[in-house]
Amino acid sequence: MNVDYNHAFEAAGLHSLKGGFGFQHTANDVNTSYTGGAYVYLFWDQSFVFGGQDRGRGTYGYYEVNNIGTQGKAGGDITSVYIQDQWNPTPRLSVHLGLRTEREIIPSFRPEIQENAIEFGFGQKMAPRLGATYDVLGDGRFKLYGSYGRYFDWTKYELSRGTYGGDVWQVYYRGLDTLDIASLSLDTKPGDDLWVVPGGFRDRRVPSFESTDPDLKPMSQDSYSGGVEYQLADTMAVTVHYVHNELIRTIEDIGTLDAQGNEVYIQGNPGEGLTEFQLPTGPTPVGQRNPKAKRKYDAVELSVSRRFANNYFWSAGYTWSRLYGNYAGLASSDEITPASTGFGSTTAQQSGGSVARPGSNVTRSWDIDELLYDSRGNFVEGNLATDRPHVVKLYGGYSFPSGTTVAANFYGGSGTPLSTYVYATNGYGLFVNGRGDMGRTPALLRTNLLVSHEINLGGNKRLRAEFNVLNVFNRKVERYAWVWLNRTTPSIRALGSSAIDLSDTDLTQGYDYLAKLAATRDGRNPERGYQDPRYGMGDVFDTGAQGYFTIRFLF
C-alpha cells in the first residue's frame, strides 16, 4: 500500500514537493525436503578424515546420510516514508532534494522462541538523495547533471530460514560395510559411527538468535553519477556519463567450526562489531581482523543517439568499467554450479535449481577463515567474476512506408575473469591464486534481429506480426569454465581423496597448495592424480539462436 501527496508552490523559485507513506508485508511459507527426507553420499574405499584425524572406515569405505530440508512460515513488515522536492531556483537550474527512510522487520521461523529475528528502525535507514541539472546555454541543447544517493537493501529471507529455524541440515557419518546401498537411509544407517561425538551428527544449520550482532547495521551502498549531454542536431545527441557505486556494508553470516565440527555463525557486518576479528579454524593466530566487504564499480559511458526521424533511428555506446573487491554480492557469482553437474542452487518456488546462487545474505564469502586468504597469505581481492571492462552496444532500425520495420541490436563485451578453486577438507573451494589467475572467458558477442509488419484494420485497430531472433549468428560463446583444480563430485563437493588439509596451517603465512595436493591420496597415486580432468574446460555456454513469432491485436 502506498499513499502519495503532491504540492506545487513558489519560494525563491518553483517547487514541486512530494511526500509519501508505504507499507508492505512479505510472507514465506515453505516445506521442502529430499525424497525420503535425506540423500546419501558414498565414499568408496576411503577413510573419513575430519580435522586432520582419520576417523576410520568400513569394509568398503564410508558414507554420509544428509538430512536436509526447510520447513516453516514467517512474515515481516516494511514501513517507509519519504519526502522530495524538485526546486527550480532559476529557469536553467533544477535541484532535486529528497530523504527516504523505513522500518524493516526480518521474521523468525521459530516465533515460539523469538517473534522477530532482526529489526531496523527508521533512524538506521536514512537515505538522502541529491541531484542537479544545469542548462548551460539556456536552450536545452547543452546540459550538465549530477546526483548522489544512499540506498539500503532489504534483508533476504534466506537469512531467516538458515539462521532462525527454517533450515535443517544434519550429516551422519558411517562405515560402509554393505553393498546393498539402496538400503541406506535416514532410518537405516548400518556400520560404525565415525562422527566425533558418538551417537550424534554434524549439525550444519544450528538455529541461533544469540549469534546476531546487537549492533547489526542494514546493508547499504553509495551511488554517485554525473555527466554531460549535448544536442548535435535536432535529432542527434551525444552523452558522456560517469557512475561510481561503492558498497558501505553488507550483512553476512561469518562462520567457524566448533570442537565438534558443527558450523557456527555470527550474523553481522563483516569486519565490524562482533565480527571485527576472525574465528580461526586452525593455528592461524587469534586477533586477525576480518576484511570488510568491498565492492566498487566505476564506469564511463560514451553514447551517441539519433531519435526516430525520416523513418529510421540508431544509437551507439561504449562503456569502460571496473568491478573490484572481495564480495561478489547477494547473487554470488563466486558460487556457480554448472548444469553439467546435474545439480544447482536451490531457487525459491522452482522445482529445479539455478546455475548461479540466488540473492541472499548468507553466501559463502565469510563462512570460514580459509576462504579469506590465498595461498600466499594475502586477503583475496581483485576484479570480481562479472567484471566486463569493455562493452559496445549498437542499436538501430528502419520503418518502410509499407508498414514493415527492421531493427537490429548488437552487444559486444569483454570476457569475465576465471579463478582457480582448490577444495579443502572442510568442504570449501579456495582462491589459492587470488582472483583471475585463469584469465578471462572469450568476448561475449551477440546480435539480435526484429522484423515486424503492421496492418491497419480501420479506426484505432491494428494487427501487428513480429519475428524476433536472439543470437542470430548462433554464437555459443563460453560463459564459464570448470575452475575446480582437484577432483570433485558431480555436485562440486571435494572428494576426500583429493581435498587438501589446512588444519595445521597458519593462513597468514601462506602454504604450498601444490605440495598439499601432491600429498593427498589421489596425489600419491600416479595413475590417478589429484587434478580433475575437466579443469579449464568450457562448461557454461551462451544460449544459441532462438526465434519468437508473435501476433498482436492493438486497439
pTM value is: 0.86
Euclidean distance between CA atoms 210 and 115, whole angstroms: 14
| Cβ-based burial of 138 (10 A; exposed 0-12, middle 13-18, buried ≥19) | exposed
What pLDDT does residue 115 have?
87
What pLDDT score was predicted for residue 169? 86
% of the chain with per-residue pLDDT over 70: 98
Q: What is the pLDDT of residue 489?
A: 81
Cell 547489526, residue located? 216
pLDDT reported for residue 32: 82
Distance CA 368, CA 257 (A): 8
At residue 148, does pLDDT exceed 80? yes
> Distance between CA atoms of 218 and 104, rounded to whole angstroms?
9
Taking residues 44-55, report their average pLDDT: 88
Domain segments of the chain: what residues?
A: 1-128+163-193
Query: Please, which pLDDT band fits residue 289 given cuts at 50, 70 and 90?
Result: very high
Query: Does residue 303 register a pLDDT over 90?
Result: yes
> pLDDT band at residue 111, thresholds of 50, 70 and 90?
confident
Q: What is residue 491's predicted lDDT score, i.e. its pLDDT?
A: 75
Q: pLDDT by residue (tens digit) across 206-262?
A: 777 888 999 999 999 999 999 999 999 989 999 999 999 999 999 998 887 666 666
Q: Find the mean pLDDT for residues 302-310.
A: 95
Q: What pLDDT sits at residue 165?
A: 86
The 10s digit of each residue's pLDDT in 479-488 is: 999 999 999 8
Q: What is the pLDDT of residues 521-537, one digit of tens each?
A: 999 999 999 999 999 99
> What separation in angstroms does the CA of 21 have from each of 3, 136, 277?
5, 36, 40
Residue 38 has pLDDT above 90, yes or no: no
pLDDT at 451 over 90: yes
Q: For a pLDDT cut of 90, what percent of the chain falls above it?
A: 75
Query: Which residues are within 8 A (CB) of 53 and not within 5 positions of it... i.e. 6 or more apart?
Result: none
Question: Taking all residues of the chain, what is their mean pLDDT, rounded to a whole number?
Answer: 92
